Structure 1
Amino acid sequence: MNHRTTRRSRRLVASTAVALTAGLVLAGCGDSDKDNKSSKSGKDAPAAAKPELSVDGAYIPVPAMDDMAGGFFTVTNKGAADKLVSASSPLAGSVTLHATVGSTMKERKSFTVPANGTLDFSRGGNHIMLEKLKHKPKQGDKVEVTLRFEKSKPITVSMPVKPATYNPSNDAKTHSTTDKHSSTDKHSSH
């Protein structure tokens, strides 16, 4: 009798396990099929699946040299991660991306724009270099710069030329009123 009870218990456990496994497989198939349909259509894709970029605080200090200038700005992202991969300007023969590590400036091919975060280009840190300038910009001028990203549309920014000693952290009023540009705005690209 003890032997029969053990055999029945094993069959019951095995049958229950098979039934549960089959139920999970069927439930999984149903959900994945539904997910595949919504993924293909893109209608149910979460908003954070795409980067949502904007640029503000952009400026160029009056350059000390006739042929190059630095540029600073902040890229804010309210979506998925992206990468800043290049920049251009009608004023410059080339625009390069740079990071300052310690006291050394190093050219970079790209910068990550973190998901739901910011990428800062500020004095003493990341910056763009406008090289081979066609003319030296003066204080009060505006310089057009187009930023290109791996996933997002290009963003063209009108960067005001500020005094050589300008520091936005010391001038919060000017910083807060700076033009804002986003990847969803209609901008020309160069």
Structure 2
Amino acid sequence: MTRHASLKPVLAPAALLVAAGLALTACSDGGGKPSAGSHSGAPALAVSGAYMPQPVGDLAAGFLVVKNTGKGDDELTSVTSPLSDSVSIHKTVDDRMVEVKSFDVPPGGSLDLARGGNHIMLMGIKHPPKQGQSIELDLHFKKTGAIKVTVPVKAANFQPPATP
């Protein structure tokens, strides 16, 4: 028996493991997270309509829509921003803000963060941005991971156009 013949039984399982690993890697986006639609139960998130009314003091609110066109649910678990070390997510109950741990993003549905309802709250902002500037938010989701969003600062009384 040659030296190469004795390695065949060892190399065959190793080659199979490498091939399986490559097949699994092909289903991800390179960051270890499933890519949109890579399997039937995956969420596929897109953020739109983001804005922040120009803050007057050291508090600011952020509004946006997260649409999930995938077949799996996801959950917004936190938001971070270089503008503030204290960013939380709130729902509105009986005209009062209530901090929550997360918001669901159902499959085929959306999470609407809008004036008078669910929203992002930035407290103790480091420097109030002015109308026409933009700020950065990182939305952290349970399954999808972080999504970076550039949020334009609008007039303090800005109201987005009604959607049909």
1:51 maps to: 43
Preserved CA contact (<8 Å) 2:56 2:128: no
> Quick check: 1:148 aligned with 2:140?
yes
List 4+ stretches of structure 1 deviating above 3 A.
45-48
1:158 maps to: 150
Identity of aligned residues (%): 47
Structure 2 unaligned spans of 5+: 1-22, 28-36
2:98 maps to: 106
C-alpha separation between the residues in 2 aligned to 1:89 and 1:48? 32
User: Aligned AA for 1:85?
Assistant: T
User: Aligned AA for 1:88?
Assistant: T
1:115-136 residue CA offsets vs partner (Å, 9 max, x unmatched): 1100000000000001111101
C-alpha separation between the residues in 1 aligned to 2:120 and 2:88? 6
1:76 maps to: 67
C-alpha separation between the residues in 2 aligned to 1:148 and 1:46? 20
> Quick check: 1:169 aligned with 2:161?
yes
1:125 maps to: 117
Sort the Cα spacing of 1:136 and 1:81 in 2 relative to 1 into closer, same or farther, 3 A.
Answer: same
User: Aligned AA for 1:108?
Assistant: V
Q: TM-score, normalised by structure 1?
A: 0.64
C-alpha separation between the residues in 2 aligned to 1:46 and 1:62? 39
2:17 maps to: none
C-alpha separation between the residues in 2 aligned to 1:136 and 1:104? 24
Larger helix fraction of residues: 1
Aligned-residue offset at 1:46:
7.5
Sort the Cα spacing of 1:132 and 1:116 in 2 relative to 1 into closer, same or farther, 3 A.
Answer: same
Q: TM-score, normalised by structure 2?
A: 0.74
Question: What secondary structure is seen at the aligned counterpart in 2 of 1:133?
Answer: coil
Question: What secondary structure is seen at the aligned counterpart in 2 of 1:95?
Answer: strand
> Quick check: 1:139 aligned with 2:147?
no
Structure 1 unaligned spans of 5+: 1-40, 173-190
- Of 54, 58, 62, 2:54 maps to 62
2:7 maps to: none
